[in-house]
Structure 1
Amino acid sequence: MLLRFRTANVRSLRAEQELSFVVPEEEEGAAAKLLPLSDGKQLSVYPVLGVFGANASGKSNVITALKKMREAVLSSYAAWTSHDGIPREEFALDPKAAAETTLYEADFVMADGVRWSYGFELGERRVEAEWLFAYPKGRRQVWFDRDASREKEFDFPGDRLQDRTLLARMTRPNALLLTRAANDGHPQLTPLYDWFKQNLWDVTPETERRQREAYTAQRLLENEESRRRVEELLRVADLGISGAEVERDSGGRPRVRLIHSGSGEETVLDWEAESFGTRSWFALIGPLLLALDTGAVLLVDELDASLHSRFAAEVVRLFQAPWVNPKGAQLIFTAHDPSLLRVPGGGRLLEPGQLWLTEKDAGGATELFPVSDWEPTEDEDLMASYLAGAFGGVPKVSEGQVGRQLLQTNETAELEAEEI
């Protein structure tokens, strides 16, 4: 499971920002999962984090930074070249940022309960720093530490890591040691590489929808259990759907028609006749089930962009229900709709430690912080407080301001035209 993620100098994330799944000490966290650690202790971890904020406040850049870290780990050895430099998207509103490093660090727990901390700093043309720490007995073990400014770039304290000399000699200045090791099938480091390969999956409801529709359709064809789960998720969304028909076309691609119930009769609709919302929900089911089946970390940008808030809330509930999510899959999503902060009958869908907000400072840099920092009371309505601006993270626009500004602009333009 992912515990924490730190980043700096990526798009609008100028200063170091941290996103944490660990339940704050002062918060009970009804939705939290107790994660057994290798030292015999347990850590309380949330399965879901939601990132909210005004338009252009940097919500999507949090997701992007996680994707960028994964891409770097998977591709630095094969894709990064000396003549192109290291691909970065540093903060653009400060010229000094180009000369500074880009930081990524992730804390996560593997299946054996051992906690790991892996991170790196990227310069324009070389990896400036890279490190890997393990906590098998609760105390930090340094597996390797890399600093490009030192005469001896790589340091391997102790004898924990195999092939240390070979790894140091064969790792290019513009590639990550972890990527280099995994490409050679290193027995100790490849499982850590595989963690990134099998996690931080990106889903944006409005993009790649056809591919995800096809994947969900494929799940219908796998076996009876898989089909039952897909159809149940279609029914639970209250779309009036009672089932699905699926067959392969002449090219072997699955074709789906959904069965709708109404007035005591069933009607089968062609796929093109389905609404945008229905198709978006169907396309999301496949990745959701894959994440739940494997215990992966799923990244969904703008969860509410093409889904009704009720569907978005159901996605959150899937990850928060231990009987549905026994393998500890996690969800990080961004959204605009504040109704996700409250369940219809009252109460909270997300705890304060699960609700993160983004806000731009005067220099255009994004600040990321949890609502738990504001210490809301147990019975406080988080949606009402958020909309009132009690936590920040909402547009600084008063009622009617946009219209008044537009009217003022039109009047100014008319006066200028008269003067001409």
Structure 2
Amino acid sequence: MLLRFRVANVRSLRDVQELSFVVPEGSKEEQAAARKTLLSDGRRLPVHTVLGVFGANASGKSNVIAALKNMRHAVLRSYADWTSYDGIPRDEFALDPKAASESSLYEADFVLGDGVRWTYGFELGERRVEAEWLFAYPKGRRQVWFDRDATRDKEYDFPGDRLRDRTRLARTTRSDALLLTRAANDGHEQLTPIFDWFKNNLWDVTPETERTQREAYTAIQLLKSEDFRRRAEELLQVADLGICGVEVEQSSSGRPLVRLIHSSGGEQMAMEWGAESWGTRSWFALIGPLLLALDTGAVLLIDELDASLHSRFAAEVVRLFQAPWVNPKGAQLVFTGHDPSLLRTPGGGRLLEPGQLWLTEKDERGVTELFSVADWEPTDEEDLMASYLAGTFGAVPRVSEGQIGRRLLRTNDMVRMEAEGV
């Protein structure tokens, strides 16, 4: 499970920002809603399975998702794709000239299946890896597996001699590649599980893009697995789309053909895929990645969950990850959204607790601040949706009623006056 993620100097995330799944101490209500993760030192750590990131347009919500994706890509591809000649892809903060000469930071804190907590991170310069580190906490205390600093005469430090093949790894890892990637490419027995965590987590989904690929993936899984088909049909039916089943067959082109069975007035009819609504197709395309994440206990990233899904569907996605009986392996979801109705259940309760609700806000420099509503210490009875809309926590558009219309009218008047030579 992912515990924390830290990032700095990536897109609008100029200063160090942290996203945390760990429930704040003393929060009894949130601890009851969280998953108790057993650590190797015997402690049970309350960890959320869902975090939602909200904020005004262009406040940096999507950049949080992008940063998580960037870290995963760096771990998987630094050895094969990066070269000092082309430079290291960093996506540093663009509105401050000093940012180009400063490193970009990524760090993840996570727990593997054996309960051992790990911290892995790195700092990237323009043409070299400036720093890289790996810590383990098998008994609650930090063990340094390796510490890399490009400014030292001896770049690598391996305290305790825990890591095998350390001399060879230090000698053969390029200055513009991560040691973790280099080790995993050789199948290093100790470091490959860390690499595999990144390979099997931080999968990203943007509902409005790559939809056809996800439709095809869902369709292929329908052909492969009867269990998958059964669960997919349940998800389609519970979404109240008037769907009672699904037909799928392999076409000569190799792309599966899908027809959803609709029920109307007691009659059943298979509808051609192209006639289905955007919302139906978006929901169908999301089912494949959702079930895969739940089956494997992965961390799933969904940018703008509510962009092409009705708020009811979006809320059901959240509930899938919240419910232990549906999500026994502790899969996690990080999503961005705009719709504040996701903060409240139809009965008026909370869909997300304060520690699960994260907000982004840009300052006058264009720098994004990421913070949790839990920092505001709302009362247990407080309506988070109402407070968010009222601007209590910030992170809402600074637009007064009618302001856009007034500005447009003023601009039109100025254009008219210029045209008339007034």
Structure 2: which amino acid aligns with 1:115?
A: R
Q: Secondary structure at the match of 1:272?
A: helix
CA–CA distance in structure 1, aligned partners of residues 81 and 256 of structure 2: 34
Letter of the 2:18 counterpart: E
Looking at structure 2, the residues matched to 251 and 398 of structure 1 have their Cα atoms a distance apart, in angstroms, of: 54
- Deviation of residue 223 (structure 1)? 2.6
**How many Å separate the matches in 2 of 1:57 and 1:252?**
42
Q: Deviations over 1:153-207 (max 9, x none)?
A: 0000012100111111011111100000111111000110010000000100011
Q: Pick from 202, 205, 209 the counterpart of residue 204 of structure 2.
A: 202
In 2, Cα distance between equivalents of 1:205 and 1:223: 24
Residues in 1 aligned to 2:16 and 2:34: alpha-carbon distance in whole angstroms: 26
Q: Number of residue pairs matched?
A: 420
- Measure how far apart 1:225 and its partner are: 1.5
- Change beyond 3 A, Cα 1:257–1:145: same
* Contact 1:301-1:335 at 8 Å conserved across structures: yes
Residue in 1 that maps onto 2:52: 50
Aligned residue type for 1:303: L
Q: Which moved further from structure 2: 240-249 or 49-58?
A: 240-249
Q: CA deviation at 1:88?
A: 1.0
Query: Which position in structure 1 is the counterpart of 2:14?
Result: 14
1:62 is aligned to 64
Corresponding residue number in structure 1 for 2:81? 79
Q: How far, CA to CA, are the matches of 1:269 and 1:147 in structure 2?
A: 60
User: Deviations along 1:101-155, whole A, 9 cap, x unmatched?
Assistant: 0000000000000000000000001000000000000000000000000000000
Secondary structure at the aligned position of 1:81 is classed as coil
Cα distance in structure 2, aligned partners of 1:26 and 1:305: 35
Q: Which residue in the other structure is 1:280 paired with?
A: 282
Deviation at 1:27, TM superposition (A): 2.0
Residue 5 of structure 1 is matched in structure 2 by 5
Q: What is the one-letter code of the residue matched to 1:216?
A: T
1:337 CA drift (Å)? 0.5
| Residue pairs, 1:69-218, within 5 angstroms | 69-218=71-220
Q: Quick one: which amino acid aligns to residue 38 of structure 1?
A: S
Alignment match of 1:323 (pick from 322, 325, 336):
325
Give 1:375's aligned residue.
Answer: 377
- Residue 251 of structure 1: how far off its partner (Å): 2.6
* Distance in 1, Cα, partners of 2:420 & 2:253: 66
In the TM superposition, residue 308 of structure 1 has moved relative to its aligned partner by 0.5
Q: TM-score, normalised by structure 2?
A: 0.98
1:301-320 matches, within 5 Å, as 301-320=303-322
Distance in 2, matches of 1:222 and 1:249, equals: 15
Q: Which residue of 1 aligns with 2:223?
A: 221
- CA shift at 1:252, angstroms? 3.3
2:11 corresponds to which letter in structure 1? R
Q: Does 1:265 align with 2:267?
A: yes
Matched, 1:256 2:258: yes
TM-score with structure 1 length normalisation?
A: 0.99
The whole-number CA distance in structure 1 between the counterparts of 2:47 and 2:172 is 38
- 2:106 aligns to what SS in structure 1? strand
Question: 1:40, CA displacement in angstroms?
Answer: 0.5
Moved more, 346-355 or 409-418: 409-418
| Deviation, structure 1 residue 24 | 1.1
RMSD: 0.8
Q: Which residues of structure 1 form unaligned runs of 5+?
A: none
Tell me which amino acid in the other structure corresponds to 1:195.
Answer: W
Give the match's secondary structure for 1:18. Answer: strand
Distance in structure 2 (CA, Å) of the matches to 1:141 and 1:189? 14
Which amino acid counterpart does residue 23 of structure 1 have in structure 2?
V
What is the SS of the residue equivalent to 2:184? Answer: helix
Q: CA deviation at 1:415?
A: 2.1
For 1:203 and 1:235, locate their aligned partners in 2 and report how far apart those are by CA, in whole Å.
22
Question: What amino acid sits opposite 2:277 in the alignment?
Answer: S
SS of the equivalent of 1:182 reads helix
Q: Distance in 1 between matches of 2:284 and 2:134?
A: 40
In the alignment, which residue of structure 2 is the partner of 1:351? 353
1:40 to 34, 39, 42: 42
- In structure 2, distance between residues paired with 1:248 and 1:418: 65
| Distance in 2 between residues matched to 1:277 and 1:39, nearest whole Å | 46
Deviations 1:4-38 (A, max 9, x none): 00000000000000000001113231431000000
C-alpha displacement at 1:220, in angstroms?
1.4
* Contact 1:27–1:353, Cα closer than 8 Å, also in 2: no
Find the residue that maps to 1:419 and give its secondary structure.
Answer: coil
Task: Report the equivalent of 1:408.
Answer: 410
Which amino acid in the other structure matches residue 19 of structure 2?
Answer: L
* 1:418 shift after superposition: 2.5
C-alpha separation between the residues in 2 aligned to 1:246 and 1:144?
Answer: 50
